[in-house]
């Protein structure tokens, strides 16, 4: 059996340059394994150690996601191999398009019974791709998964639900999005990083994949920098805490929020 870790190589919007016209320029932001994804790698590795499953990393995006640094960063996190679709036609692709490409890759791998993902990407921050992938595959999709373990003929999982922790058994393929603290992710050591260079990487051409074409498209009308950036920014020196506190409390009372 094979476990797929669907992850993203992405920059942090914190480091993007946002123009006054709302344009977002990521060219000076460094990409990394998306902040919420290491937990998916770790869960996959832990399950695989118990079952002997192969762990395959899958990532799709524009051409910039396939660098030697990006490959090593993923392969050093416990993958057995990596499959990449890196094509500039996927630049800025929406969640449904990314999920469609991921689904085509997962189908191509063949004997996958579990796809693990983080709860959101660090750049787009929508938390949607994994569940749309479940839709594409026709598999059960579950969010907020806090633990996964192998059982006879399937998996036992736990999920955070509003009333507490729900336990479930899975007897068929599923796409699971893990909570950010489901497991503590190991930081790759020197041995992992050196070993990463020897692991196989398969680069698939987008043209070779059976990806259904988008029916609904978005036509950009306008963009802007959010108004929330325009806060008052009254900065008070706190070297005299009592005076600073009095000034702040006075201002908050005047603003009628106290």
Partner 1 sequence: MNVSSQTWIVVADDPAVTALVVAARALSAEVTAVVAGRRATAESVAAAGVDRVLWLGEPAEGTPVEAYAPDVARTVADGAPRAVLGSSDGAGRVMLGAIAALLQAPVLSGVIAVEHDGDQIGVTRSVFGGVAERRDLVTGGPAIIALAGGDVGDPSGAAVPVEEVTANPLTTGRLTGVRKKEKAPVNLGAARTVVAVGRGLKAKADLALITGLADAIGGELACSRPLAEGVDWIPKERNVGISGQQIAPELYVAIGISGQLQHMVGVRDAGVIVAVNSDKAALIFKQCDYGIVGDLYTVVPALTAALAPKP
Indicate the residue among 73 and 114 with the shorter CB distance to partner 1. 114
Q: Which of residues 40-99 bind partner 1 (CB under 8 A)?
A: 94-97, 99
For the bound state, the minimum distance from the C-beta of residue 7 to partner 1, rounded and expressed in Å, comes to: 16
User: Is 74 in contact with 33 (CB distance < 8 Å)?
Assistant: yes
Three-state DSSP class for 117? strand
Interaction between residue 102 and partner 1 (CB under 8 A)? no
Indicate the residue among 27 and 163 with the shorter CB distance to partner 1. 163
For the bound state, the minimum distance from the C-beta of residue 5 to partner 1, rounded and expressed in Å, comes to: 18
User: Is 86 in contact with 202 (CB distance < 8 Å)?
Assistant: no
Indicate the residue among 13 and 195 with the shorter CB distance to partner 1. 13
Residues forming beta bridges with residue 81, ordered by sequence position? 56
The contact pattern for partner 1, residues 183-222, with x = CB under 8 A and - = no contact, is -----------------------------xxxxxxxxxxx
Interaction between residue 162 and partner 1 (CB under 8 A)? yes
Continuous segment of H or E residues that includes residue 107? helix 95-109
CA-CA distance, 16 to 206, in Å (whole number)?
27
Indicate the residue among 75 and 175 with the shorter CB distance to partner 1. 175
For the bound state, the minimum distance from the C-beta of residue 195 to partner 1, rounded and expressed in Å, comes to: 27
User: What backbone phi and psi angles, to 5 degrees, belong to 166?
Assistant: -100, 135
Out of 28, 110, 152, 167, point to the residue binding partner 1 (CB under 8 A): 167
CB atoms within 10 A of CB 195: 15
CA-CA distance, 157 to 68, in Å (whole number)?
34
How would you classify the pairing of strands 164-170 and 31-33?
unpaired
CB under 8 Å to 162, separation ≥6 — which residues? none
Out of 13, 51, 81, 186, point to the residue binding partner 1 (CB under 8 A): 13
For the bound state, the minimum distance from the C-beta of residue 171 to partner 1, rounded and expressed in Å, comes to: 6
Interaction between residue 122 and partner 1 (CB under 8 A)? yes
């Amino acid at each position: 059996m094979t476990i797929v870790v669907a992850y993203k190589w992405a920059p942090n919007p914190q480091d993007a340059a946002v123009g006054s016209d709302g344009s977002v320029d990521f060219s000076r932001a460094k990409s990394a394994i998306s902040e919420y994804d290491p937990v998916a790698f770790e869960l996959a590795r832990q399950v695989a150690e118990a079952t002997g499953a192969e762990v395959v990393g899958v990532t799709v995006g524009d051409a910039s996601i396939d660098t030697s640094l990006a490959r090593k960063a993923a392969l050093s996190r416990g993958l057995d191999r990596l499959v990449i679709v890196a094509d500039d036609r996927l630049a800025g692709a929406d969640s449904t398009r990314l999920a469609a490409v991921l689904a085509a890759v997962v189908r191509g791998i063949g004997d996958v019974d579990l796809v693990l993902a983080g709860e959101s990407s660090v750049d787009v921050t929508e938390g949607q791709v994994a569940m749309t992938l479940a839709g594409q595959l026709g598999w059960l999709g579950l969010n907020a998964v806090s633990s996964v373990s192998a059982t006879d003929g399937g998996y036992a999982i736990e999920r955070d639900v509003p009333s507490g922790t729900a336990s479930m058994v899975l007897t068929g393929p599923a796409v699971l999005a893990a909570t950010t603290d489901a497991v503590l992710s190991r930081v790759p050591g020197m041995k992992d990083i050196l070993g990463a260079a020897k692991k196989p990487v398969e680069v698939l051409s987008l043209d070779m994949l059976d990806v259904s074409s988008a029916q609904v498209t978005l036509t950009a009308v306008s963009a802007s920098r959010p108004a929330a950036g325009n806060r008052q920014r009254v900065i008070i020196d706190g070297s005299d805490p009592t005076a600073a506190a009095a000034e702040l409390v006075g201002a908050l009372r005047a603003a009628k929020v106290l």
